[in-house]
Structure 1
Amino acid sequence: MKLTVTPAAQKRLAKYLDAGSLKRLILDFDDGVGPFSDIGDCSLGVNFKLILLDADKELPKDFDAHFASNLGDVYYKGYTKSQYAEHMKLDFEPNYFTMPLKSDFETLCDNVEVVDLTTRELTHAPAGTHDC
């Protein structure tokens, strides 16, 4: 699997991905499992979250798989692999202020939520900055 983050999405994410610090990227299919789950927070449908962690933080055990992106490795829960596609694109739609996640054939999520958990301790539910 591979994720391409478009230039428009990179510009939208720039405030989170400053060059001065290394981040870990997690693309979480929110199925109610793991420390980042908060079903229904910004959507009542399919919910993907792009979670940013400091690079020195240990990943929660649920995130045991990863795939490549043009921003580095992206971690996910291995058992949710069927929710992803072989080729994915994360874009930014300025007219609607959304970040759709698409495959070659369909839209996987109309708006990926961005959750910045850098410099924060991990708890059961996300306590970071939500951007949806």
Structure 2
Amino acid sequence: MADEIKSITFDEAVTEKLQPLLDHGNRLLLSYDDGVGPYSHHGLMALQVSFQFVVVGADANVDDYQAALTSALGPVLYKGYSGEFLGQDLHASFNKLMHTIRLTDAGEQIDDNVEVVVDESAAK
């Protein structure tokens, strides 16, 4: 299963938030917030599963992000080992009540508060 190509869809509200940030060659990461790598600072792995969408520049260091999801917004890179938390039919949707992004798969809610972080490497 680890070798299966996975994809993610975004609802309209999430697409409207992310699309403009991906101009100028910026790339999108789905970063498992486990304290590993330059874009993960919390290391909450023992407490909860937590992800962030991180927008990085075209030349940013993405060595820790060896796997990719396909999406309408282009490839979404992620840490290969974090794929154990990502099932099939991944979907990011905007929760209007809480003003948060919810990440789900076909079987369950993965994270109900996915933050969007724009790294300093990202072109504005």
What TM-score, normalized by structure 2, do the two folds share?
0.81
- Is residue 2:74 matched to residue 1:72? yes
C-alpha separation in 1, matches of 2:39 and 2:18? 19
Deviations 1:63-118 (A, max 9, x none): 11112011100101112211111210001112210100011111000011111015
Which structure shows the bigger proportion of residues in helix conformation?
2
Deviation at 1:23, TM superposition (A): 1.7
Q: Which runs of 4+ in 1 moved over 6 A?
A: none
Which of 112, 116, 119 lines up with 1:117 in the alignment? 119
Runs of at least 5 residues in structure 2 that lack an aligned partner in the other structure = 1-5
Structure 1 SS opposite 2:100 = coil
Deviation at 1:39, TM superposition (A): 1.2
Runs of at least 5 residues in structure 1 that lack an aligned partner in the other structure = 121-132
C-alpha separation in 1, matches of 2:61 and 2:78? 10
RMSD: 2.0
- Percent same amino acid among aligned pairs? 34
What TM-score, normalized by structure 1, do the two folds share?
0.77
Q: Is the 8 A contact 2:60 2:121 kept in 1?
A: no
Deviation at 1:11, TM superposition (A): 2.0
The one-letter code of the counterpart of 1:31 is D
- Paired residues in the alignment total 115
